[in-house]
Structures are given as structure tokens and as C-alpha cells.
Amino acid sequence: MLNFIADTGQLDALEDYVNNRLEYAPFAIACFTKRDEAEAWLRGLAEPPSPTHILIGDEYYRVWSSREDNTRGMYRDYVIEPYIEELAARGIPPSAPSFKTLEEAGAWLKIHPAAPFAFVSVAGEHYLAVHHKRLTHHSLHPVASSLMEWEEKKRAAERETAPEDAD
């Protein structure tokens, strides 16, 4: 992949992305309300892009396919959680817009899009709003529960890679 990036003259763009990644939302090519809609979309593609990300509700999923045997699938991917962790560590602004419902927050975000991220409060809980400009869509990620899931995911990965205790 790095050779492709270098050969196509995209090294400056890659460096910009790496150095300024918090200025770009993780890329998703499509968004769906429910998983069965996403699965129907994936089954209907002659040659699905692989790998790539999509949104189902407000969660990222990794889509994959194999040309050899035409298998395809998707799984929940924790791509936004590192962003939430880093942005929350920088501090959630005390003046974050506040709403009673997710629907109110979504309506406000249509008029005031996040660029690409913004913190909002819904019913007293902080959310990270992510603007997917290409999809004209905002996803809303609950900060506290996303960070708990992310910590659990990291602990599980550590357990899988930890060497077994020798007796």
C-alpha cells in the first residue's frame, strides 16, 4: 500500500493525514439505519469494495470480500473510539450545545455541521458528533459508553497477544 501511495504521488497527502488525522473523520462509504439493509446492499454489489467502512446506525463496520470464492461480510470495527479517546482527553468544551433528544441534536447538526467533530450534550450525556460530509450525515457517539467499550476492546486484544504464563 505504501508503494502505491508513493508511486501515485500521494506522499504529501498521506503525511498531512497522519499529522492532522483529528481534522478528518474516519471514512465511510455508505450509511444504513439497520444491519439487514447493509447486508442487502452488500449482497447486491457485483464487486464490493474491500476492505472499507460503512455506518450502521452510529457504529462503524468493516466490510470485506474475497474475489476468489465471492464471500463477503462485515463486523463491528472500533475505528472512531481512538478519536473519541484523544478528543475527550483534550477536554470537552463546557459550552457544548445541549439537547433533550438525539433527534433535536441531529436537526441542529444539519444546520450547524461538525467540522468534522463536535461535542454535544443530549439529556446530560456527552456525545461526539462526526460529520460525514460525503454522505451528508452525522453520526453521534456516546462518549462514556464508547470509551468503556474501547477500553474493553483494548484489554481483550492485550489478553490475546499476552504470552501464556509458564509454570
Give tens-digit pLDDT for 41-81: 999 988 888 889 999 999 999 999 888 888 899 999 999 99
The one-letter amino acid at 145: S
Considering the domain boundaries, does residue 49 fall inside one? Answer: no
Cis peptide before 51 (omega within 30 of 0): yes
Mean local confidence (pLDDT), 122-147: 94
* Side-chain-side CA neighbours of residue 153 (13 Å): 13
Considering the domain boundaries, does residue 124 fall inside one? Answer: yes
Confidence of residue 108 (pLDDT cuts 50, 70, 90): very high
Considering the domain boundaries, does residue 138 fall inside one? Answer: yes
Mean local confidence (pLDDT), 125-140: 93
- As a whole number of angstroms, the distance between CA 60 and CA 27 comes to 10
Considering the domain boundaries, does residue 132 fall inside one? Answer: yes
Residue 85, beta-bridge partner list:
none
Give the three cell numbers for residue 58: 452510529
Structural domain total, the chain: 1
Domain that holds residue 153: 80-161
Give the contacts of 101 (CB within 8 A, at least 6 positions apart).
Answer: 122, 123
pLDDT tens, residue by residue, 1-35? 666 667 777 777 767 666 666 677 888 999 999 99
Cis peptide before 116 (omega within 30 of 0): yes
| Separation of CA 53 from chain center | 8
> Which position has the grid cell 478528543?
87
Give the three cell numbers for residue 128: 461526539
Per-residue confidence (pLDDT) for residue 166, from 0 to 100: 46
**Structural contact between residues 63 and 47, judged by C-beta atoms closer than 8 angstroms:** no
